[in-house]
Amino acid sequence: MAKTNAGRFFEDYSVGDTLTHAVPRTVGAGERALYHALYPARHALYSSDTFAQASGLAASPLDDMIAFHTVFGKTVPDVSLNAVANLGYAEGRWLKPVWPGDTLTSASEVIGVKQNSNGKSGVVYVRTTGRNQQGEAVLDYVRWVMVRKGNLDAPAPETVIPDLAKVVPAGTLAIPEGLTFQNYDFDQAGEPHRWGDYEIGEQINHVDGVTIEEAEHMMATRLWQNTAKVHFDTSARPDGTRLIYGGHVISMARALSFNGLANAQMVVGLNAGAHANPCLAGDTVRAWSEVLDKAETSAPGVGAIRLRLVATKGGAPFKLRGEDGKYLPEVLLDLDYWALMPI
């Protein structure tokens, strides 16, 4: 009996299947420090217990992206080991803060399958839920990936394409219990701009850039126990390069967006996301944002802002697609998310 995991192929997924992902992971002060070492993360709520406490929380939670990467990483051996491409995200909601000491597990339900017309691959849709040691859901999102068939003779399954919301409705965003921005200290947070200062359609160039190193993206990717070969093994791709985990670009861009969006403190919704082009070591990552929408929330002093976050490896800011409607070659990431901000 072969002992190693060859990964699942397209024909191994059926709508309704539940995938229990290994390995449970306790996260804490160490992951938090590494996050600050790997990304220029400065959002005050995730940097300081005192700032978080003044915002009504028990302590500084772990960065929302630590939650995302930890939950996502576990899905890789079951979902994307034989994936050709990570196609999209939808309906993502952060449901509870992750506290130092929490243990996260991850499970996915297959909610859609569609074989490609070439008969060699297909698209699999999964809804993934991350839970803490109390069994409480902390994160929930849908992603879909293109997966190779292992057996080309396997019959095509009945096509099921889930009906996914284009945008998480603002009213369904989960606000952490007790959160208030009524005592918000803008000096300590780093910028004076409040929710009311941002206009829908406004674009922000985050200015700063970071040139990416192999050691850093590998450390990050391993930290989330993401095992996809292409990130680590120069022999896994014909050109000898290591493809950088798309989540590394998400975290880098989100951290760079501090400069101009320092008060977009908490990420609470993931509406959509595309890894437009591959990122390789040596690329200098920059970011710009666009305000897509704004909404009020029930929490005191807290507004929601919907942002497009674009990471690039060159080119001018605010350019996303060419005349053909395709992403420009220098665009790495196009992410659509909701954040919480002091009103």
Q: Which stretch binds a copy of itself (CB under 8 A): 91-99, 101-109, 143-151, 157-165?
A: 101-109
Nearest CB to a copy of itself, comparing residues 93 and 222 = 222
Report the C-alpha gap between 91 and 146 in whole angstroms. 19
Contact 319, 328 (CB under 8 A): yes
Check whether the bond before 123 is cis (ω within 30° of 0).
Answer: no
Closest CA to 226 of 209, 208, 210, 242: 242
Helix (H) or strand (E) holding 227: none
Interface with a copy of itself: number of residues (CB under 8 A):
76
* Residue numbers 145-174 binding a copy of itself by CB under 8 A: none
Contact 148, 12 (CB under 8 A): no
* Residue numbers 273-292 binding a copy of itself by CB under 8 A: 284
CB of 143 to a copy of itself, least distance (A): 21
Nearest CB to a copy of itself, comparing residues 155 and 240 = 240
Pairing of strands 331-342, 266-275: antiparallel
Q: Residue 338 is encoded by which pair of tokens?
A: 């909701």
Which residue among 14, 159, 183, 211 contacts a copy of itself (CB under 8 A)?
A: 211
CB of 151 to a copy of itself, least distance (A): 20
Taking CB under 8 A as the rule, does residue 242 contact a copy of itself?
A: yes
Report the C-alpha gap between 173 and 239 in whole angstroms. 42
Taking CB under 8 A as the rule, does residue 23 contact a copy of itself?
A: yes
Taking CB under 8 A as the rule, does residue 180 contact a copy of itself?
A: no
* Residue numbers 122-141 binding a copy of itself by CB under 8 A: 133
Place of tokens 């930290």: 223
Q: Which stretch binds a copy of itself (CB under 8 A): 84-92, 146-154, 220-228, 329-337?
A: 220-228
Taking CB under 8 A as the rule, does residue 302 contact a copy of itself?
A: no
Report the C-alpha gap between 340 and 20 in whole angstroms. 31
Which residue among 12, 17, 109, 214 contacts a copy of itself (CB under 8 A)?
A: 214
Region for 286 from its dihedrals, namely left if φ exceeds 0, alpha if ψ lies in -120 to 50, beta otherwise: beta
Taking CB under 8 A as the rule, does residue 47 contact a copy of itself?
A: yes
Neighbours of 106 (CB within 10 A): 24
- Please say whether the dihedral angle defined by the alpha carbons of residues 181, 184, 188 and 191, taken in this order, is positive or negative: positive
Closest CA to 280 of 302, 251, 248, 255: 248
Taking CB under 8 A as the rule, does residue 1 contact a copy of itself?
A: yes
CB of 324 to a copy of itself, least distance (A): 28
- Neighbour-count burial for 148-179, b at 16+ CB within 10 Å, e otherwise: bbeeeeeeeeeeeeeebeeebebeebbebeeb
Which residue among 163, 235, 323, 324 contacts a copy of itself (CB under 8 A)?
A: 235
Which residue among 129, 194, 232, 319 contacts a copy of itself (CB under 8 A)?
A: 232
Nearest CB to a copy of itself, comparing residues 40 and 157 = 40
Nearest CB to a copy of itself, comparing residues 53 and 159 = 53
Q: Which stretch binds a copy of itself (CB under 8 A): 119-127, 138-146, 258-266, 299-307?
A: 258-266
Contact 335, 253 (CB under 8 A): yes
Q: Which stretch binds a copy of itself (CB under 8 A): 108-116, 142-150, 217-225, 293-301?
A: 217-225
How many residues appear in the chain? 343
